[in-house]
Amino acid sequence: MATYTPNYKLKKPAASEYYNIQDFNENADKIDTQLKIGEEAKTLADTLNSSMTEAQRDITLLLQRSLISFEIWAPPNTQVMLQQGQLSFSGTVGDTMELTASVSALGTWQMMYVYANRTYSREVRLEHIGQTRILAAPTLAASPWAYIAKLSAAGLAREAYALGDTKSVSSSLGTYDMQIIGFAHDVLTAAKAGQERAGITFQMKSATPANYFMDENIYFANTWEQTNMRTVQLPAILQSMPSDLRTVIKQVNKYTAVTGNNIGKTTKEKLFLFSDYELCGYSRLINDYCFGQQYEYYRFGHTPNKSTIYWLRNNISGPNGKENFLVMHPDILQPGFYRCEGTYGISLGFCV
């Protein structure tokens, strides 16, 4: 009697049986069917494996692309365009002054940005997966104060602007150009870890006419801290400045020698006058170290403005106990002393 194989039930005639071609054909058909099923299964497995590999590659690429981006800092409403070959990105910066540009390739990109109807362009580089911060900064003159303050607080002001750059400011003094004379120079009154100094110090590029006294009291016998200039006139000028500027001006500590006291006195200032040491790098007073460090704009060789006589905040006792204050004088190399009730110009400063 015939038997059958255990898996595919192929017929196995007994030795005593006659050969039957029909049995052979049926076995061949079963084998052919199973081989075809196996072949199709292998093809399907290969296809699925290839698809999974491609899918994994696509997922990896998508993950990488999601991790490659520029963090663009620019003033609100700046239009930004990035181009690398056929790849591109465009967007508009919002009120946060930050725009994330997710791109799909590392390397060099051409960036063009438009702010206040002026177009700027430069190359930027993405060198690693992750987020790379770049600045789309207009000129200092065109930059809004909020954006200047953002860069200043982040320690990025020097990356966007240069010593000597100017921005116009209007106040009760009139309209004057304020120029950058230092980065990270003045110590913040409200200093905190990682931000001990104001990012930018500005000074009037030219002094006002001789319309301002240090103190109207001809018997004034106090120091810079008590002067009418510091307590009345400068605060009034501050209040006359545009609100967007007032909002970002930082209070800083200023050190001024107290007559006969080589320790010095610290005052907290928003608007301030400069000392001779800060501008010239030397002082007519013995305790010159009380006046802080010279600003780098002048340390690098620029000469303080001497087009007119203007007040400095240094003081020294004069005859009969009256106080005299230093002024910057156009006709002499060193600042000279003048009585506080006299009227001279001012060249004030502030920090952002």
147 found inside a domain? no
Contact call for residues 124 and 134 (beta carbons, < 8 A): yes
Residue 321 lies in a domain: yes
Give whole-number Cα distances, 160 to 132, 149, 154, in Å.
16, 12, 12
Cα distances from 264 to residues 37, 225, 257, in angstroms, run 97, 11, 4
CA 325, CA 315: separation in Å to the nearest integer?
4
DSSP conformation class of 341: T
239 and 133: one domain?
A: no
Does 183 map to a domain? no
Statement to judge: residues 234 and 339 lie in one domain:
yes
User: In this predicted structure, what is the pLDDT of residue 146?
Assistant: 98
Residue 86 lies in a domain: yes
Read off the pLDDT of residues 151-194 as tens digits, 9 standing for 90 and up: 999 999 999 999 999 999 999 999 999 999 999 999 999 988 87
Cβ(279)–Cβ(296) under 8 Å? no
Looking at this protein, which amino acid is placed at residue 202? F
Per-10-residue mean pLDDT of the chain, 352 residues long, equals 80 77 78 77 79 70 68 98 96 97 91 97 90 95 98 96 98 97 96 89 95 88 88 98 98 80 80 91 62 88 88 75 73 71 95 98
Instruction: Decide which of 109, 138, 167 is a domain's last residue.
Output: 138
CA 269, chain centre distance (Å): 24
Cα(332)–Cα(304) distance, integer angstroms: 12
Domain count, the chain: 2
Instruction: Provide the residue range defining the domain that includes 13.
Output: 1-138
Same domain? For 106 and 226 the reply is no
CATH number of the domain encompassing residue 28: 2.60.40.10
Same-domain pairing of 10 and 91: yes
Last residue of a domain, one of 111, 138, 165: 138
Pairwise CA distance, residues 6 & 2, whole Å:
13
Are 330 and 227 members of one domain? yes
DSSP 8-state symbol, 232: I
Q: How does 181-190 read in b/e, with b if 16+ C-beta sit within 10 Å?
A: bbbbbbbbbe
pLDDT at residue 97, as a whole number: 98
Determine the pLDDT at residue 319.
Answer: 60
342 and 207 in a common domain: yes
Contacts of 115 (CB under 8 A, 6+ apart): 74, 75, 77, 78, 79, 136, 138, 142
pLDDT tens track for 79-102: 999 999 999 999 999 999 999 999
Both 220 and 326 in one domain: the answer is yes
Same domain, 48 and 121: yes
Which of residues 114, 138, 162 is at a domain's end?
A: 138
What pLDDT, on a 0 to 100 scale, did the predictor assign at position 201? 98
Q: Are residues 230 and 324 in the same domain?
A: yes
145 belongs to a structural domain = no
Q: Supply the pTM of this predicted model.
A: 0.80
Amino acid letter, residue 183: F
Are residues 128 and 214 located together in one domain of the fold?
A: no
* Measured CA angle at 189 (ends 288, 315), to 5 deg: 30
Residue 193 lies in a domain: no
CA distance linking residue 95 with residue 322, whole number of Å: 53
Q: Rounded CA gap, 97 and 163, in Å?
A: 24
Q: Is residue 182 part of a domain?
A: no
22 in a structural domain: yes
* DSSP structure string for 139-205: -TTTS-HHHHHHHHHTT-HHHH--TT-EEEEEETTEEEEEEEEEES-SEEEEEETTEEE-SEEEEES
Q: Are residues 219 and 110 in the same domain?
A: no
